[in-house]
Amino acid sequence: MSFEFFPPKTEEGHDLLLTAIEELRPLSPDFVSITRTGTGTQSTLDLTAEVQNKLGIRAMSHLTCVHHNREEMGAALDNLWESGVQNVLALRGDLPPGMNAIPESEGGFCYASDLVPFVRDRHEFCIGVAGYPEYHPQSLNPTRDLEMLKKKIDEGAHFIITQLFFDNAQFYRWRDAVHGMGIDVPIVAGIMPINNVAQIKRFVGMCGAKIPHPLLLQLESLESDPMAVHAAGVEYAINQCEDLLANGIDGLHFYTLNKSKATALIGQALHLKQG
């Protein structure tokens, strides 16, 4: 079990973030990841080091390579290694609006598959990469998307964290296809507890995930009652995670949005039912 957070924009947000992490500590996370989202007062690298060294929880830093050259990326990796952080999620990063691909540039990176061997050769990091059960929205087709995932693994990545998803049946089909490509590294399922209907619609619109129609109808019927939406989101996530665990998932990675309540309720329920 692992949890994902993003750098806060204010000192107050920083304090709330540390409180949220502490509230999830009783679930004994295997690691906490820090994203590149936002432009806060504290960088991803600094926050990752703080979580690991001050809170004593294994931390993983997200690294996006778009618009960064090798010198900049090397300095970031050295910074992490020297601070004791040994875990990296290697990502391409978001493209500028209207751009579908990064142009080739001397000394830079176009894809996460270019970043992975650079990280691998810099220090002995444990390297994670992203996987897309409903396929990357910019992929040409599902087969090409799987080929790109395999390339990242072949270049030295050690495990996969998936994009958020709500349809386990689609995830199992994708997992079978991943294994069919000869990929045998651990796959960690990305879970996002639903707290807000408009918010989750916006997220799935950006990342290409789908909300199963029965769940969508349920959420829309409750939209005027935030507490009911929260309860329904927690219940759905518990059932989703129980099914994943029963079907041999390697791990669960919760997109917390820097909040602890829903994730804590889900984690506690899973721990109780797992004995």
- Residue 224 contacts by C-beta under 8 Å, 6 or more apart in sequence? none
DSSP 69: B
153 within 8 A of 185, measured Cβ to Cβ: yes
Location of structure tokens 């994730």:
263
Q: Please give the Cα distance from 201 to 199 (Å, whole number).
A: 5
| 4 catalytic residue (yes or no) | yes
Which amino acid, 109? F
125 within 8 A of 77, measured Cβ to Cβ: yes
CA dihedral (78, 82, 85, 86) positive or negative: positive
Given the residues 4, 50, 134, 155, the one annotated as active site: 4
CA 226 to centroid of chain Cα atoms? 25
DSSP 30: S
Location of structure tokens 């990357």:
136
- Residue 23 contacts by C-beta under 8 Å, 6 or more apart in sequence? 260, 264
CA dihedral (101, 104, 105, 106) positive or negative: positive
Q: Please give the Cα distance from 255 to 34 (Å, whole number).
A: 10
Which residues, in sequence order, are bridge partners of residue 59? Answer: 32
Catalytic residues, by residue number, are: 4
